[in-house]
């Protein structure tokens, strides 16, 4: 079902994503992130995402959360992300950060197949990406993340 038809039916997708974030400060290392999204585009433009995130190779930390919003509205929480329908086959999740934007592009032919891609884009004036540690909220600086896996499944 193309996204333009979402006002009349539900569409569900599983996104399995993995990337490496090359941290350059405060302590240089590679941070491995694995994230799974169940994205539901429901009647009347509601979008729900259930996210499971695993970080670290040796000491793994797992977090889960579910959020719902109208398309184009912020999902709330720390992410400040929004899902938007770009056209009948493309849905994008954009999270705006002070130094960059992070986008997840979901494309589908309808009810049979889908693809997903990831994009980190620096804002003007920035040369490295800036983020925060999950626990201490300490600043972290990193270079362009490397995607290791990005798969999509229509549910």
pLDDT tens readout for residues 70-110:
766 666 655 678 888 888 889 999 999 999 999 999 999 87
* Contact criterion met (CB below 8 Å) for 69 and 76: yes
Residue with token string 């920035």: 126
pTM of the entire structure? 0.85
Question: Comparing 21 with 79, which gets the higher pLDDT?
Answer: 21
pLDDT at 133: 74
Beta carbons within 10 angstroms of residue 135's beta carbon? 7
Rounded Cα distance between 102 and 48, Å, is 18
> Phi/psi of residue 83, each to 5°?
-100, 135
Give residue 67's domain range.
3-154
Mean pLDDT (whole number) for 127-144: 86
Strands 46-55, 11-25: pairing is unpaired
The CA distance from 107 to 40, in Å, is: 14
The distance in angstroms from the start CA to the end CA of the chain is 11
| Pairwise CA distance, residues 151 & 119, whole Å | 14
- Report the chain's C-alpha Rg in angstroms: 16
CA distance 17 to 117: 9
Q: Which residue has the higher pLDDT, 128 or 111?
A: 128
- What's the domain count of the chain? 1
Residue 122: closest CA among 99, 144, 143, 104: 99
Cβ–Cβ under 8 Å, residues 144 and 118:
no
Q: What angle do CA 64, 65, 68 make, to 5 degrees?
A: 155
Spatial separation of the C-alpha atoms in residues 25 and 12, rounded to whole Å:
38
């Amino acid at each position: 079902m193309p996204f333009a038809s979402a006002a009349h039916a539900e569409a569900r997708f599983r996104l399995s994503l993995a990337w490496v974030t090359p941290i350059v400060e405060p302590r240089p290392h590679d941070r491995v992130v694995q994230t799974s999204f169940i994205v539901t585009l429901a009647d009347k433009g509601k979008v729900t995402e259930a996210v499971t995130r695993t970080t670290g190779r040796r000491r793994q930390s797992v977090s889960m959360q579910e959020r719902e919003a109208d398309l184009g509205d912020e999902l709330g929480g720390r992410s400040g992300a929004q899902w938007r329908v770009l056209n009948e086959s493309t849905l994008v999740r954009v999270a705006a950060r002070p130094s960059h934007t992070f986008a997840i592009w979901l494309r589908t032919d309808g009810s049979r197949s889908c693809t997903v891609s990831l994009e980190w884009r620096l804002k003007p004036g920035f040369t490295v990406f800036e983020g925060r540690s999950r626990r201490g909220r300490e600043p972290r600086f990193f270079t362009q993340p490397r995607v290791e896996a990005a798969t999509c499944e229509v549910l």
